[in-house]
């Protein structure tokens, strides 16, 4: 059987072997509950605080309390929980305000929560994007007003890789007295983040997007911002998130953040080179393709490519026969026959949106793998277009 060529890293990533080694002792040797009074369990709390600091260093969260603890970092179960917690907390921190401003291209973790908040009487304004997935900052300024509790935008789009201007957006929010949240699930570990310098109030990340395990995430909450928990229970996370800590995964996330911070400058260059090689090879060999998103300002690992007049699901099935893994968009929308909400918001014609494939790379991908994909795609596209009525009509 051919080895898997995994190009779906925006959906999830392989756990780094260094991360796995760091986690192993906390399964069967140091398995105590960190809330315990006895030393066997209580000593694990120090390891959690080390992981908290490792996360803070990746995000540029410089504040430490008198004990040296990075108290702005709250461990959660995933990016979606972090997103939900940020939205509810912002409304609680600004009880006199009843509006959230977000974008039409957010992850379902934001959009579904916003729809629920609308049912509860909150006003939500969804900002459009242009054909390259960019925001109009003047339109953002008009949308954020004295009734706005929160402006929430992703740092990087999970489908196209388009980056949003986070410092400018945070400034717009603060100028009107609103808080600013960013879903940085796709950005963390791929581009530099500095929450202090950029004026971020809330920030979400998810472990399994940067070579840590699934089931752990983080919500950054700037010191001084009022925060009401989403999950009530015990005193864990300084009473900001109840429930016994997922110790092994927290340790893994801390280690993954340490590795990402150390390797980010070199890895971002290497990933961009592979991404560009893939796009160039596809464009040179296949007619009627387009690369989606803001080509100048995007993640180094993400290529959203539309193959016009055919179905993306058919492309994925034929790639899968070659053990090539990619996706037609967000993993959270798999199973839908409709084009992604991101591509529709960008105004892509249906003939292109339906045939869009997202290739998302990681540090484990090689030039040889990319070259194999480049060679494999032309016959797949030719085969599918030969039976496509849309392609025949076009000709």
Query: Minimum mean pLDDT among 248-257, 313-322, 325-334: which range?
Result: 325-334
Mean pLDDT in residue range 64-73: 94
234 or 258, greater pLDDT: 258
- Three-state SS at 395: coil
Contact between 221 and 56 under an 8 Å Cβ cutoff? The reply is: no
Question: φ, ψ for residue 278 (rounded to 5)?
Answer: -60, -50
Calpha distance 72→245 (Å, rounded): 17
Rg over alpha carbons for the chain, rounded to the nearest Å, is 22
Calpha distance 128→135 (Å, rounded): 7
Domain boundaries, the chain: 5-12+264-394, 17-259
Q: To the nearest whole percent, how much of the chain has pLDDT over 90? A: 93
State pTM to two decimals. Answer: 0.96
Reported as a single tens digit per residue, the pLDDT across 265-302 is 999 999 999 999 999 999 999 999 999 999 999 999 99
Contact between 70 and 212 under an 8 Å Cβ cutoff? The reply is: no
Q: What is the assigned CATH class of domain 5-12+264-394?
A: alpha beta
Which residues lie across from 318 on neighbouring strands?
none
332 is a catalytic site residue = yes
Say whether 17-259 and 5-12+264-394 share the same fold. no
- Using pLDDT thresholds of 50, 70 and 90, give the confidence band for residue 100: very high
Which residues lie across from 360 on neighbouring strands?
8, 302
pLDDT at 333: 52
- Using pLDDT thresholds of 50, 70 and 90, give the confidence band for residue 58: very high
CATH domain 17-259 topology = 3.40.640
Average pLDDT, the chain: 95
**Active-site residue (options: 28, 53, 257, 332):** 332
Residue 391 has pLDDT above 90, yes or no: no
Mean pLDDT in residue range 97-124: 98
């Amino acid at each position: 059987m051919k080895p898997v060529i995994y190009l779906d890293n925006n959906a999830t990533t392989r756990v780094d072997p260094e991360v796995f080694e760091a986690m192993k002792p906390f399964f069967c040797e140091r398995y105590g509950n960190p809330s315990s009074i006895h030393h066997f369990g209580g000593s694990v709390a120090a390891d959690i605080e080390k992981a908290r600091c490792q996360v803070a260093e990746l995000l540029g969260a410089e504040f430490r309390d008198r004990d040296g603890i990075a108290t702005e970092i709250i461990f959660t179960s995933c990016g979606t929980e972090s997103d939900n917690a940020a939205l509810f907390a912002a409304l609680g921190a600004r009880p006199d305000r009843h509006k959230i401003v977000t974008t039409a291209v957010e992850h379902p973790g934001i959009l579904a929560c916003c729809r629920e908040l609308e049912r509860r009487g909150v006003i939500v304004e969804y900002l459009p994007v242009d054909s390259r997935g960019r925001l109009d900052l003047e339109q953002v300024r008009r949308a954020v007003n004295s009734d706005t509790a929160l402006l929430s935008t992703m740092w990087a789009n999970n489908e196209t890789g388009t980056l949003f201007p986070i410092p400018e957006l945070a400034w717009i929010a603060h100028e009107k007295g609103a808080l600013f949240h960013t879903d940085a699930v796709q950005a963390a570990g791929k581009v530099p983040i500095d929450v202090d310098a950029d004026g971020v109030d809330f920030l979400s990340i998810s472990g399994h997007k940067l070579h840590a395990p699934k089931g752990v995430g983080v919500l950054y909450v700037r010191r001084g911002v009022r925060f009401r928990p989403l999950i009530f229970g015990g005193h864990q996370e300084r009473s900001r998130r109840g429930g016994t800590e997922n110790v092994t995964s927290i340790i893994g996330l801390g280690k993954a953040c340490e590795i990402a911070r150390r390797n980010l400058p070199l890895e971002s260059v290497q990933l961009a080179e592979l991404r560009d090689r893939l796009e160039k090879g596809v464009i040179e060999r296949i007619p009627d393709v387009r690369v989606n998103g803001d080509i100048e300002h995007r993640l180094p690992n993400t290529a959203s490519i539309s193959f016009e007049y055919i179905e993306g699901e058919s492309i994925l099935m034929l790639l899968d026969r070659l053990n090539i893994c990619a996706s037609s968009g967000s993993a959270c929308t798999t199973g839908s026959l409709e084009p992604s909400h991101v591509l529709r918001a960008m105004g892509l014609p249906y003939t292109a949106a339906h045939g869009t494939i997202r290739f998302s790379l990681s540090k484990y991908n090689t030039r040889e793998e990319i070259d194999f994909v480049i060679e494999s795609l032309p016959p797949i596209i030719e085969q599918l277009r030969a039976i496509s009525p849309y392609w025949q009509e076009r000709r």
